[in-house]
Structure formats: structure tokens, C-alpha cells
Chains A and B, each alone.
Chain A
Amino acid sequence: EAQVTQNPRYLITVTGKKLTVTCSQNMNHEYMSWYRQDPGLGLRQIYYSMNVEVTDKGDVPEGYKVSRKEKRNFPLILESPSPNQTSLYFCASMGRDSNSPLHFGNGTRLTVT
């Protein structure tokens, strides 16, 4: 089954404790992206990647890192999480044809206390 898999689904952590949210897709998609969703703000893009070893900042990259060492994986790293990073995070991927839709993962709800 074609899917984007994120882990974990829920995460509660404390300020400053490094964490990684994993994202993996099995569709051989070139494009992958991370979004955060906050009430009243919709989805805002954090980082995206056009292919292996190619990443770029989205609209709200501060406080986040990503890597794309393999085509299928695109982890999101919070080196020193802060409470304002409490949010719902979605990973998404898209194939080579830019007319194709984004496929979203099931989301990771992160709480930073």
C-alpha cells in the first residue's frame, strides 16, 4: 500500500531535549516536505527536499533541521525544542510530476512543556 509513515504519532517532551520525528514513504517520490499545523494558521511549510541531499527552507524553518540521506526518509529534527514548537506536524511526499497531489502522513502531535 502506498503510504507516508510518520513516527511517533504523539510525543510529549521537555524544553531543550533533542528529538527526531521520522518520515518514510514507499512511493519512490522525489519531493518530500514537512508542515506544521496550528489552529487558525493552516499549514505552514517548515522544510522541503527535492531529492536526496537537496533540502531547502520553507516558510517557518527556525528551530528545525532536516536531512535527506535516502530517497525514502526525511526526518525532522528539533535540536532544542521550545514550547512554541508544540504543534501538529505532517510529512508529505509527491512524485516527479508536479501535477500530482501531495500524499500526507498521519501526523505527529508534539507537546513541548
Chain B
Amino acid sequence: AQSVSQHNHHVILSEAASLELGCNYSYGGTVNLFWYVQYPGQHLQLLLKYFSGDPLVKGIKGFEAEFIKSKFSFNLRKPSVQWSDTAEYFCAASGAGSYQLTFGKGTKLSVIP
């Protein structure tokens, strides 16, 4: 069965700290990968996506993610977080050509000023 696992339920960081949120997926075949962000009280917005090509993907607001096929991972990174990055982050995956997204359970990030 297709699944997406996010390792951390809640991460607390101080401003300027580096961030890495783990995401592992279990999918047969070619996979599309996404990171979505949900700011408090808002809907989900796309941060970045990977379909093919360069496994290092850059998204909005200084976020990036690296697709490591051998590890079935798509970890999200940011070198220096800001208070405004406080949000919940969701990793998601779909099979290539499929509309169906499977979401991880989310990681809540709290950034302390």
C-alpha cells in the first residue's frame, strides 16, 4: 500500500537555526513528491514539488528538498528559519500520472524568536 511517513510530530527551533524535516514514502513505480505548508488558520499551500530531473528541488521562501531514491526519502530543508515559518508541514506523494495524493501526518514547526 502507498504510504508517506513523517518522522517528527513537533519540532521546536530558535530563529536562525537550520531545519530538516524527514519524509519517507512507500510507492511502487515512479513517484511525484510534494511538500505543502499550512500556516495557522489557513489552508494548505504548495512549497515545492519533485517530478523528475534534478533531485534537489528549490521552493518558495528559501525551502528546498532532496529526493534520494535509494532511501525513499524527500526531506525538507531550510538553512535558517524565521518566526514566520511557524506552521504545519505536510509531505505528500502520488504515482506518476495519478491524481491521488497520499499525505503524511504532518510536522508542526514552532520557531521561537
Write the residues of chain A forming the contact surface with B, with a CB cutoff of 8 angstroms: 31, 35, 40-45, 48, 50, 90, 92, 94, 98-99, 101-102, 104-107
Cα distance A96–B57 in the bound complex, in angstroms: 23
B 7-48 contacts with A by CB, 8 A: 9, 32, 34, 36, 42-46
Cα distance A98–B97 in the bound complex, in angstroms: 6
- Taking CB atoms, residues of chain B closer than 8 Å to A42 are 6, 90, 103-106
- Taking CB atoms, residues of chain A closer than 8 Å to B100 are 45, 48
Name 15 extra pairs, CB < 8 A, besides A42-B103, A90-B43, A98-B96.
A41-B105, A42-B90, A42-B105, A43-B44, A43-B90, A45-B100, A48-B99, A50-B99, A94-B99, A98-B94, A98-B99, A99-B32, A102-B44, A104-B44, A107-B43
Give 5 closest A-B pairs by Cβ, nearest first.
A42-B105, A104-B43, A101-B46, A43-B103, A104-B44
When A99-B32, A104-B44, A106-B42 are in contact, do A40 and B99 touch as well, CB less than 8 Å? no
Category for how many chain B residues contact A: 20 to 34
The chain A residue with its CB closest to the CB of B44 is A104
- Taking CB atoms, residues of chain B closer than 8 Å to A101 are 34, 46, 49
Tell whether B70 is near chain A: CB-to-CB under 8 Å: no
The chain B residue with its CB closest to the CB of A101 is B46
The chain A residue with its CB closest to the CB of B42 is A106
- Taking CB atoms, residues of chain A closer than 8 Å to B99 are 31, 48, 50, 94, 98
Q: How many A-B contacts if CB must be within 8 Å?
A: 48
Q: List 26 A-B contacts (CB under 8 A).
A: A31-B99, A35-B103, A40-B9, A41-B105, A42-B6, A42-B90, A42-B103, A42-B105, A43-B90, A43-B103, A43-B106, A45-B100, A50-B99, A94-B99, A98-B94, A98-B96, A98-B97, A98-B98, A99-B51, A101-B46, A102-B44, A102-B46, A102-B101, A104-B43, A104-B45, A106-B43
